[in-house]
Amino acid sequence: MNVILVSNRLAKTRSFTLNIWQLMLLSLLLFGMMWSAAFAVQYALVRFAPESLNDGIRTLLSKVRSDEQQKQQTYLHSSLDAMATRVGQMQAQMQRLDALGARLAKLTGMKPEEFQFDQPPARGGPLVAAPAQEMSVPGLTQQLDLLTRLVNDRSDKLMALETMLLQNQLSSKLLPSTSPIREGWYSSNFGWRIDPFTGDNAMHEGVDYMAPEGTPVHASAGGVVAYADIHPQYGKMIEIDHGNDIVTRYAHASRLLVKVGQVVRCGDKIAEVGNTGRSTGSHLHFEVRYRGMAQNPVRFLQKTAG
């Protein structure tokens, strides 16, 4: 296509040629301008003069609005359902944390009324109002995610603390902390003394309890029986392995009541006092050994006869 431009002010005419692609582009441009103008006019009518619209257009616009509102309602309901599920999960986690907190309070010896985990803590103070902030669904979801991570982190740390407390409590139960004789008194303490047979200075590696023959002997702590037999010097003797390289010995018994490999608890009756082995009379010789080395039993005992 050849286009010739003629002007009254110019002596010469101007001409230029448009090919097929340029014509198509120009047509598209004109169509876009017409469509934009029509859309602008339609928007103006809807915005400023809705009463001038015919019934068909009003019906179409109403349907579009209804569909948009339906989509928004569906999105809102799905978001609320998801958040409700998250809240339910957090409530279950809080119940577990309450139970865990109660167990920890019991392990540490706290009074139940000091920490009531099933009730909110008492709070108060002057009112300092803060500017209200609107919370959107994405913002609320983000806050729930943060709270969930915090609750999981606190739960892991509290469970680790409970494990440590239980281990410490178990270790204390495996230490020889109670007297093996309920009624009796020391006849010889731990340390250097005059040997009753030779008269020489000798090391006494335990403590002796004076008690009549047949007096019950109790395990000073829980453990596993490692030895229960007759020893040339200790007479009828029992050894209990308490773990952590700690062993207790109960010597000169008249009767043994446990066997090797048997598990005993603190306070269980394991033997009866006697006068067997290298002994001058009815008594119990009690030893505590750590890594094979004799220790003063008095350092471990919480209750001693005397």
Query: Taking Cα atoms as reference points, which of 250, 90, 101, 212 lies closest to residue 161?
Result: 101
E strands in 175-232: 185-188, 191-194, 201-204, 207-210, 216-218, 223-231
Report whether 206 contacts 193 (CB < 8 A). Answer: no
Query: Taking Cα atoms as reference points, which of 57, 56, 55 lies closest to residue 46?
Result: 57
In angstroms, rounded to a whole number, what is the distance separating the alpha carbons of residues 143 and 141? 5
- The CA-atom distances, in angstroms, between 158 and each of 90, 97, 104 are 16, 8, 8
Query: Taking Cα atoms as reference points, which of 217, 218, 255, 212 lies closest to residue 236?
Result: 255
- The CA-atom distances, in angstroms, between 134 and each of 79, 84, 123, 145, 148 are 17, 19, 25, 18, 21
**What pLDDT does residue 240 have?**
96
Most confidently modeled of 47-56, 121-130, 216-225?
216-225
Most confidently modeled of 85-89, 110-114, 252-256?
252-256
pLDDT range class, residue 303, cuts 50, 70, 90: very low
- In tens, the pLDDT along 63-106 reads 767 777 777 777 777 777 777 777 777 777 777 777 777 777 77
Q: What angle separates helix 137-173 from helix 55-107, to the nearest 10 degrees? A: 10
In angstroms, rounded to a whole number, what is the distance separating the alpha carbons of residues 57 and 55? 6
Q: Which residue has the higher pLDDT, 2 or 282?
A: 282
Neighbours of 150 (CB within 10 A): 10
Report the largest interatomic distance among the alpha carbons of the chain, rounded to a whole angstrom.
149
- The CA-atom distances, in angstroms, between 33 and each of 22, 28, 47 are 17, 9, 21
Neighbours of 262 (CB within 10 A): 15
- In tens, the pLDDT along 19-77 reads 777 777 777 888 788 878 777 766 665 555 555 555 665 566 667 677 777 777 777 77
Counting Cα atoms < 13 Å in the Cβ hemisphere of 3 gives: 7
Kindly report the average pLDDT of the chain as a whole number: 78
DSSP string, 31-78: HHHHHHHHHHHHHHHHHH-GGGS-HHHHHHHHHHHHHHHHHHHHHHHH
Three-state secondary-structure class, residue 230? strand
In angstroms, rounded to a whole number, what is the distance separating the alpha carbons of residues 121 and 273? 56
The pTM of the full predicted model, rounded to 2 decimals, is: 0.50
Neighbours of 56 (CB within 10 A): 8
Q: Which residue has the higher pLDDT, 246 or 155?
A: 246
Q: Which residue has the higher pLDDT, 115 or 136?
A: 136
Residue carrying structure tokens 């109960």: 250
